[in-house]
Structures are given as structure tokens and as C-alpha cells.
Amino acid sequence: MTKQEKVQFVITKLEDLYPEIPIPLDHKDPYTLLIAVLLSAQCTDIRVNKITPLLFAKADNPFDMIKMSIEEIKAIIRPCGLSPMKSKGIFGLSKILIKKYNGEVPRSFEGLEELPAVGHKTASVVMSQAFGVPAFPVDTHIHRLMFRWNLSNGKNVTQTEKDAKRLFPINIWNNLHLQMIWYGREYSQARAWNLDKDIITKTIGRKTIINNYYKK
């Protein structure tokens, strides 16, 4: 199989499996998505979706958020981990949104990445899911899959993102990255992985990974 044939196999198989793509993080607008993605760092989406309703019941916009103290925010989001950093980030970015953007989330990578605690991946998710701008956020699942499928060298997420953008058509990035996340969770987990169910890796994956799996 050529690399282009592998890419087409991935696209076709993921479209068959996920013709409708659920959004992993519950939200109602760009601001609540931004906060949810920020909270998801080193935390599962399931846990984030349990915590955000508690936070958004008190503040689902930057104007209400800054009425809370950092300590109050931290107490609510503590189960998500990294609460000291995340609470300061939420409070700080909310102040900036009010002062600089009239309470609105900026519609640019530059504007988003200037906000406290917002990195490139978070900005990419917001641009993609909130504003429909083509982006390819790379999380641990996508990073793992691109390596297993021999479509990236797996050295770092920056290189993985570049490889994904180079290989896959820009018009499907926003759907494809979500399809890959769901596939990674359901069929190609980091642990308790069953290669026989992981049809994409079994078909196009690195031979060393496949051979090592069956040697176990």
C-alpha cells in the first residue's frame, strides 16, 4: 500500500465508523468550549463534563467568571487536576476577554494563544469546533494513531500535526481529527489494546508494532 492509499483507507474507514461525530466536550458557545478544553489538559473528557456544569451554573461567561475569586474557581475544578494553574488561567483569560474583546472569544489563533493557559492545541480545538476554521488539534490519541499507522515519526505533537495537515485534505480536518479521537478511544487504546479489533492499524500499521504485538 502506498502512503496515499493508506491515507484514503483511513478516511474511508473512519467515515464508515463515524458518519455522525459527537463532540467530546459539552459546551454551548465558544467561551464554554474554551474553558472546557482548558480543563481537559491531563484530565478525561468524562470528568470535565461532570465538572463544567457545576462551574457554568455559577459563571458561563467571562463577566460572571471574574465575579468569582480564583480560590472559588479552584475549589470547583479541583477534580480536573492542575487546579492552581487552571483557575488562574480561567480568571486571567476572562479578564482579558472583557478588556480586549468585549467579552467575546477571539476568532484567531494569535488572539487565542495570547490568553493565559491557552496553548496551540486548545486554540486549534476552539478554532475548529467553535468557528469552523480548518485546524488539526493533536491529542494523545491522534499522536499515537499517526505513529501506529506509520503516517508520522511520533517524535512530538508538533511534527505529528504537520504530517497530518500535509497528508489529509484540509476540507476534512475538522471532522477527521474528531473521528480519530473516537477511533483511538474505542479501537486503538494505549493500554488494553486489542489489535484484532483495530482494523486500521492491523491493515496499514507499522510492521514492528504488529509483529511485537503478536509475539506477546
Catalytic residues: 121, 139
Burial of 21 (0-12, 13-18, 19+ CB in 10 A): middle
Distances in Å between the Cα of 202 and the Cα atoms of 19, 148, 187, 199 are 22, 9, 11, 5
Counted residue by residue, the chain has a size of 216
The Cα–Cα gap between 156 and 142 comes to 11
C-alpha cell at 85: 494553574
Q: Where are the alpha helices (DSSP H) in 61-172?
A: 62-65, 70-77, 83-101, 109-113, 120-129, 140-148, 157-167
C-alpha cell at 108: 484567531
Burial of 191 (0-12, 13-18, 19+ CB in 10 A): exposed
C-alpha cell at 22: 459527537
